[in-house]
Structure 1
């Protein structure tokens, strides 16, 4: 299942009902300090029962009668449920979905001397008299309802099945519907919750403001999550073990009471075997991180401790774990930029974006740092602010007014050099490697006379690093360029792995949003795929024979091969190698079988759109 929305009612600063929509991949929750960002993540932690609600969590502006509630709405719901031993059903057939066809689970907390919790579903449920509570009725009560309604129960094939009895009752009348709160901690409805909770996502919250030791959650949680995920994969076996132990213990208890009744029947009748506590398997296992030099993690700097978290996410992003039978996972990270160098902040958001593209994985991030917020896709941002009445206002960044407020609040400003009067136009690129890549192509093509001049060196064309085509930094700079009334273009990696991967499809969708500008996605996967074999041959002192591939990850393949000959990392492959490419090698690497020179076509489009050809004619 995937989380698509969260409702908070009277929880901390969120008075009344507040709706926060959640993206299927990554959601960036942004706003000033004390805007209520962390509250959202901690509310989810309470919902998924990783922590408990405290009396102080109730909104101070509420009345004594007001309750606190946390509601989660899910899609990608289970296709079938086994609610009793003899039949299979669906949430749709049981009318347990809301009016939009989603699963809406509500936890209500009554805060008095003690805190009590009610569990319910918000569903579009039959409202016919007698049929409006079938899900909570036991087998005997359902059968009794057949008599009350003068229905022939013999038509039900399996009368042991509550599912079959409910379906027959539903079919006996023309149904009317109403939005209803269905209790899940009453009578037979408990079975629904027992089944549903096995499909809920695993939720892991990483907080930035905890004291850090090797046993604290910010260090331990990645390991605890690994344990929890491993346990979820063998849940059926654990259930068998649990049932076996329960049966054995109940057998011993039964025989003990039987013997006790021979001596004191009154006492024996007063005792009931109670196996109500579920075993917490994850608490059995523990793992700590230790330094080879014997230095405890809690004695290291806060930045180092945060890097453990950072590299957990980087490792998860690269890991191709099995998804077929696993539950979905929600990683929630509170201000991950804390104690991190700006370079690491950028690495972190890239790692999180990669991780969010994995199936059954969602990322929730809170931040008020421009470096992180500016690199997130605009559509993923949720802006939290407070109005004049100190009430929360939760906005999607889907219009210019909100984007202007966000960029102003977070201090995301356009590049200072963007208004250079010499510039005829601008090319947005993703990062430093793309700047190196294009600068060298322009220079070599100009040397060979393929283009009239090196427009970048002459400052007639400026390269601007935006981090992506659909993020806040891009929007800020686009708005400034729009005000200057100068043309602009986009040059990004296609991320095409040859198998129609999700990231490539997203890039194609973004390109489709800009039909009136020059928007170039590389034909090959990324810039590294254009490295000519001769370049590798020269760098390796004539030792490495290398065959390039159009769609493979060249950074992963080349870095270990070349590290013996040159100090190199995956992140700086282009910076280290691309300058060794000759013009002929570039042409060969970017020309297809039909003789189309990919980058020459791109530059020619730039010349035409920016009016560079007309400028040269006037100068001549």
Structure 2
């Protein structure tokens, strides 16, 4: 399942009902005490109620009643649920979806006890017609009695399967008079349905910014526990088989016991029914931890080291999920991921988050106060939270909101020379080196007439299109009244490729010159001769490999320095060799043609 939104009412600073859309990557921006952490902790309460538990004091001080409400809406729902003797049904067949065809779950906490427990409701378009509006609350004998009372023929249903009886009863009505209903899931098959739904809900992992350092610090143990949960999730079919087999054998033993009891006391035996009280909790049976050298707990190391472990946990997850693309969805909620990290590590973490968010089975939530990181986040991911007395507002998606975010974080565009005639927007600073050296060598070889510097076209890194820094840069371009063009990595061979193709198409629709590299990224064009490999080396890479990473490992250098160290060694002849490609039988030269088009902007 995928989380579509969370709605808060009477929870801490959120008095008025506020619905916050959640995307694959969602970044909350706001001043201190604006209410960012409250959203994360509300989700922790909704999914787990462990790391953070709902308390009486979580009630908004101006609330007009004592009920704290946390609601979530989900899409990408399971095709079927097993709730009744291994016979499947669906949420739609049980009329448990809202008007948009999505699953909406509300948890209500009455703030009358120190640690209130939740009442759980499914908000759905449910039958309201008499005799069909309460079917999920009835036991099997009551369902059969109801079917007999309204004249449903016995041949229309299987009397041993609740869902079959319910369906036959509903089919007996001309109209079910569906109405928006808050269905309390506290007994009979309503609870069975919810228990089944829980197995499909996303895993939720919260990483807070202000944890104390303890031996069992969740900051380190949580990723490892997530690893355990993921492993169990991948083995759902096997575990379900084990549970069914244990249940079958145990009930068989219980039935044989009752048969013997029936010989001695029929009256007592007829009153006894074997029943499993609870499902086994496999995740609590497995513990995984990481030890430092000399068996020293990682939690005794510095906060920077602990968060560095987290950084690489997310990087590893991004790589694994990109390859596997299966399992339950996981929601990672990370407060201020930049805390205690070197700037290079901060950017790597954001890139890992962006990669994870582009996989089909994960969602990322984060907060940040660092302009350099916030500037890299997609505009559609941003949520701006503001304090409004004892209430909160949540805004997104307009120029006014982007202005507030940029002003709050102090995000500025890179300076543009006052005499600039146009701008070429690129992703990173390494791309500036790539473009300038390529243009210089192509001009030296007589393949383009001028360089970007000759035409006073400023090359500006923006981290990609559609983020705050990009938005700020375009504001500046409008102020200077100069045109711009765009060069982006294609990310060929990755799941980001199609998004980049779509972004290019959007820019073309707006009349903007925009190109994607034919290969994955500029590092994939580096000529092997420039790497000065030892004789007999078999090192190589193709158009879709992560050439930046492969070259950095082979040469023992940082990935961020690959273009600076090796692209600057490229000769005109080598550039022409690696940029050559064939289209419709015709030989063409990628950067020669691209740069000629860019230069025509002025």
TM-score, scaled relative to structure 2: 0.91
Offset at residue 531 of structure 1 (A): 1.3
Equivalent residue in structure 1 for 2:475, among 476, 479, 486: 479
Offset at residue 521 of structure 1 (A): 0.7
- Residue 446 of structure 2 corresponds to 449
Q: Does 1:555 pair with 2:548?
A: yes
- Residue 188 of structure 1 corresponds to 189
Q: Does 1:80 pair with 2:92?
A: no
Q: 1:189 to 1:255 in 2, by over 3 A?
A: same
SS at match of 2:587: coil
Offset at residue 139 of structure 1 (A): 1.7
Equivalent residue in structure 2 for 1:591, among 580, 592, 595: 580
- Residue 391 of structure 1 corresponds to 391
Equivalent residue in structure 2 for 1:426, among 423, 428, 434: 423
- Residue 176 of structure 1 corresponds to 177
- Residue 39 of structure 2 corresponds to 40
Contact 2:35/2:387 (8 A) holds in 1: no
Contact 1:532/1:548 (8 A) holds in 2: no
Q: 1:592 to 1:235 in 2, by over 3 A?
A: closer
Number of aligned residues: 590
- 2:536, 2:578 → 1: CA distance? 21
- 1:146, 1:133 → 2: CA distance? 13
Equivalent residue in structure 1 for 2:459, among 460, 463, 472: 463
- Residue 109 of structure 2 corresponds to 109
SS at match of 1:502: coil
- 2:340, 2:391 → 1: CA distance? 31
- Residue 617 of structure 1 corresponds to none
Offset at residue 553 of structure 1 (A): 2.3
Offset at residue 428 of structure 1 (A): 1.1
- 1:379, 1:348 → 2: CA distance? 19
- 2:12, 2:390 → 1: CA distance? 12
SS at match of 1:463: strand
Structure-to-structure mapping, 1:43-54, within 5 angstroms: 43-51=42-50, 52-54=53-55
SS at match of 2:293: coil
- 2:347, 2:79 → 1: CA distance? 39
Equivalent residue in structure 2 for 1:438, among 435, 438, 461: 435
- Residue 333 of structure 1 corresponds to 334
SS at match of 1:601: helix
- 1:272, 1:159 → 2: CA distance? 18
1:54-81 deviation line (CA, Å, top 9, x unaligned): 1122222224x43112111110000112
- 1:117, 1:482 → 2: CA distance? 52
Q: 1:269 to 1:159 in 2, by over 3 A?
A: closer
- 2:145, 2:239 → 1: CA distance? 37
Contact 1:214/1:220 (8 A) holds in 2: no
Q: 1:543 to 1:108 in 2, by over 3 A?
A: same
SS at match of 1:204: strand
- Residue 607 of structure 1 corresponds to 599
1:234-286 deviation line (CA, Å, top 9, x unaligned): 34544565567777599689979x99xx9xx99x9999999645543323322
Offset at residue 126 of structure 1 (A): 1.7
- Residue 357 of structure 1 corresponds to 358
Contact 1:533/1:545 (8 A) holds in 2: no
Unaligned runs of 5+ in 1: 612-620
Over aligned residues, Cα RMSD in angstroms? 3.0
Stretch deviating more after TM superposition (84-93 or 26-35): 84-93
Q: 1:546 to 1:274 in 2, by over 3 A?
A: closer
Contact 1:323/1:360 (8 A) holds in 2: no
Structure-to-structure mapping, 1:3-18, within 5 angstroms: 3-18=3-18
Q: Does 1:579 pair with 2:531?
A: no
Offset at residue 233 of structure 1 (A): 2.8
SS at match of 1:15: coil
- Residue 144 of structure 1 corresponds to 145
- 1:108, 1:484 → 2: CA distance? 53
Q: 1:272 to 1:154 in 2, by over 3 A?
A: closer
Structure-to-structure mapping, 1:495-506, within 5 angstroms: 495-497=491-493, 501-506=494-499
Unaligned runs of 5+ in 2: none
Q: 1:253 to 1:146 in 2, by over 3 A?
A: closer
- 1:430, 1:237 → 2: CA distance? 45
Equivalent residue in structure 2 for 1:528, among 514, 520, 523: 523
Offset at residue 545 of structure 1 (A): 4.9
Contact 2:307/2:341 (8 A) holds in 1: yes
Contact 1:529/1:549 (8 A) holds in 2: yes
- 1:28, 1:96 → 2: CA distance? 31
- Residue 299 of structure 2 corresponds to 298
Q: 1:392 to 1:6 in 2, by over 3 A?
A: same
SS at match of 1:132: coil
1:187-210 deviation line (CA, Å, top 9, x unaligned): 221110121111111111111210
- 1:440, 1:178 → 2: CA distance? 66
1:291-333 deviation line (CA, Å, top 9, x unaligned): 2255542332221121111111111112257757621111111
SS at match of 1:14: coil
- 1:414, 1:325 → 2: CA distance? 39
- 1:6, 1:198 → 2: CA distance? 19
Stretch deviating more after TM superposition (231-240 or 82-91): 231-240
Q: 1:607 to 1:234 in 2, by over 3 A?
A: closer
Offset at residue 87 of structure 1 (A): 3.1
- 2:207, 2:274 → 1: CA distance? 40
- 1:171, 1:252 → 2: CA distance? 37
Contact 1:87/1:164 (8 A) holds in 2: no
Contact 2:326/2:361 (8 A) holds in 1: no
- Residue 281 of structure 2 corresponds to 280
Contact 1:71/1:106 (8 A) holds in 2: yes
SS at match of 2:230: helix
